[in-house]
A and B are shown apart, each in its own frame.
Chain A
Amino acid sequence: MQFGIFSIADITPDPTTGRVPTEHERLLTIVEQAKLAEQVGLDVFALGEHHNPPFVTSSPTTTLAYIGAQTEKLILSTATTLITTNDPVKIAEDYAMLQHLTGGRVDLVMGRGNTGPVYPWFGQDIRTGLELAIENYELLHRLWREDVVNWEGQFRTPLQQFTSTPRPLDGVAPFVWHGSIRSPQIAEQAACYGDGFLHNNIFWPITHTRQMVQLYRERYEHYGHGKAHQAIVGLGGQAFMRKSSQAAVAEFRPYFDNAPVYGGGPSLEDFTAQTPLTVGSPEQVIERYLTMADEVGDYQRQLFLMDHAGLPQKTVLEQIELLGTEVVPVLRRELDARRPADVPDAPTHAAMVAARDAEQGRFDPSYRFETGDNWTGLRAGDSSQR
Chain B
Amino acid sequence: MSAPIRLLVLSAGLSTPSSTRMLADVLSRASADALESRGAQVEVRTVELRELAHDITDMMLTRFPSQRLADVISALTQADAVIAVTPIFNVGPSGLAKSFLDAVDRELWTGKPVLLGATAGTSRHSLAIDYAIRPTFGYLRSEVVPTAVFASSADFGATSPDEADEQPLAVRARRAGAELATMLLAGVGEAAESAIEHEDQGQAAGQGQGRQAPQAGQAGQDQAITGPAADGGDARTGSSLDPEFSDFVPMDRLLGGK
Known pairs A134-B254, A135-B213, A386-B215; A270 contacts B64 (CB<8 A): no
Min Cβ gap A191→B in Å is: 8
> What does the 1/0 interface line of A199-243 toward B look like (CB < 8 Å)?
000011100100110110011001100000000000000000000
**Size of interface on A: residues with Cβ below 8 Å to B:** 38
Q: Is A184 a contact partner of B244 (Cβ separation < 8 A)?
A: yes
B194: Cβ under 8 A from any A Cβ: no
> In the docked arrangement, what's the CA distance between A211 and B61, Å?
22
Q: In the assembled complex, which residues on chain B have CB atoms less than 8 Å from the CB atom of A205?
A: 64
Q: In the assembled complex, which residues on chain B have CB atoms less than 8 Å from the CB atom of A219?
A: 228
Q: Is A188 a contact partner of B250 (Cβ separation < 8 A)?
A: yes
CB neighbors of A among B206-258 (8 A): 210-215, 227-228, 231, 233, 235, 239-242, 244-252, 254-255, 258
B57: Cβ under 8 A from any A Cβ: yes
A330: Cβ under 8 A from any B Cβ: no
Known pairs A184-B245, A185-B249, A211-B245; A274 contacts B210 (CB<8 A): no
Min Cβ gap A145→B in Å is: 13
Known pairs A134-B211, A192-B255, A265-B58; A187 contacts B248 (CB<8 A): yes
Q: Is B214 a contact partner of A154 (Cβ separation < 8 A)?
A: yes
B160: Cβ under 8 A from any A Cβ: no
Tell me whether chain A's interface is mostly helix, strand or loop, or mixed.
helix
Q: Is A222 a contact partner of B241 (Cβ separation < 8 A)?
A: no
Q: Is B245 a contact partner of A266 (Cβ separation < 8 A)?
A: no
**Size of interface on B: residues with Cβ below 8 Å to A:** 34
Q: Is A131 a contact partner of B233 (Cβ separation < 8 A)?
A: no
> In the docked arrangement, what's the CA distance between A153 and B256, Å?
13
Q: In the assembled complex, which residues on chain A have CB atoms less than 8 Å from the CB atom of B239?
A: 218
> In the docked arrangement, what's the CA distance between A131 and B207, Å?
10
> What does the 1/0 interface line of B50-71 toward A look like (CB < 8 Å)?
0000000110011110100000
Min Cβ gap B78→A in Å is: 18
> In the docked arrangement, what's the CA distance between A386 and B231, Å?
23
> In the docked arrangement, what's the CA distance between A135 and B214, Å?
7
Q: Is A188 a contact partner of B211 (Cβ separation < 8 A)?
A: no
Q: Is B255 a contact partner of A138 (Cβ separation < 8 A)?
A: yes
> What does the 1/0 interface line of B25-64 toward A look like (CB < 8 Å)?
0000000000000000000000000000000011001111
A130: Cβ under 8 A from any B Cβ: yes
Q: Is B247 a contact partner of A184 (Cβ separation < 8 A)?
A: yes
Q: Is B251 a contact partner of A262 (Cβ separation < 8 A)?
A: no
Q: In the assembled complex, which residues on chain B have CB atoms less than 8 Å from the CB atom of A189?
A: 251
Q: Is B64 a contact partner of A130 (Cβ separation < 8 A)?
A: no
User: Which chain A residue has the least Cβ–Cβ distance from B214?
Assistant: A153
Known pairs A192-B255, A222-B231; A134 contacts B246 (CB<8 A): no
User: Which chain A residue has the least Cβ–Cβ distance from B231?
Assistant: A222
> In the docked arrangement, what's the CA distance between A271 and B62, Å?
9
Q: Is B247 a contact partner of A262 (Cβ separation < 8 A)?
A: no
Q: In the assembled complex, which residues on chain A have CB atoms less than 8 Å from the CB atom of B249?
A: 185, 188
Q: Is B211 a contact partner of A130 (Cβ separation < 8 A)?
A: yes
A25: Cβ under 8 A from any B Cβ: no
7 pairs, CB–CB < 8 Å, chain A vs chain B? A134-B255, A184-B227, A184-B246, A185-B248, A211-B245, A262-B61, A266-B58
Additional A-B contacts beyond A211-B245, A274-B62 (12; CB < 8 A): A131-B210, A131-B211, A154-B214, A184-B248, A192-B258, A203-B63, A211-B240, A219-B228, A262-B61, A266-B61, A271-B62, A274-B64
Residues of B within 8 A of A (CB): 57-58, 61-64, 66, 210-215, 227-228, 231, 233, 235, 239-242, 244-252, 254-255, 258
Residues of A within 8 A of B (CB): 130-131, 134-135, 138, 151-154, 183-185, 187-189, 191-193, 203-205, 208, 211-212, 214-215, 218-219, 222-223, 262, 264-266, 270-271, 274, 386
